[in-house]
């Protein structure tokens, strides 16, 4: 892992917060650790960015276009985060 990649992972880890619904939603540390391990394995180790902006865009696209929309999660009953959130909204209605 390059120095830039290590800085990005550390920056993401420090700023990991979820603000949906209630004032804040807490996430179990094991889920967060699993996310960062997946991010590192599926994106960071396979990429070589030249600038921070390139890295930020790649991480944003990975999270918003792949991880939240399509990737299944065992902690969410094998639904994607988008499907799980939609399911919660339907139950609340």
**pLDDT tens, position by position, for the chain (93 residues)?**
455 455 555 555 555 544 445 445 555 667 777 788 888 888 888 888 888 888 889 988 888 888 878 888 787 888 888 888 888 889 887
Write down the pLDDT at residue 66.
84
* Helical (H) or strand (E) element with 35: helix 29-42
Q: Using CA atoms, how far apart are residues 60 and 81, in angstroms rounded to an integer? A: 15
Q: Which are the contacts of 49, defined by CB distance < 8 A and separation ≥ 6?
A: 4, 5, 55, 58
- pTM confidence score: 0.58
Query: Residue 49 has what pLDDT?
Result: 85
């Amino acid at each position: 892992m390059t120095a830039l990649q290590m800085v990005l992972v550390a920056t993401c880890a420090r700023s990991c917060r979820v603000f949906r619904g209630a004032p804040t939603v807490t996430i179990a540390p094991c889920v967060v650790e699993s996310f960062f391990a997946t991010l590192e394995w599926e994106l960071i180790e396979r990429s070589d960015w030249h600038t921070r902006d390139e890295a930020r865009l790649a991480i944003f696209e990975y999270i918003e276009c792949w991880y939240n929309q399509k990737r299944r999660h065992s902690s969410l009953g094998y639904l994607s985060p988008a499907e799980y959130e939609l399911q919660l909204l339907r139950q609340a209605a």
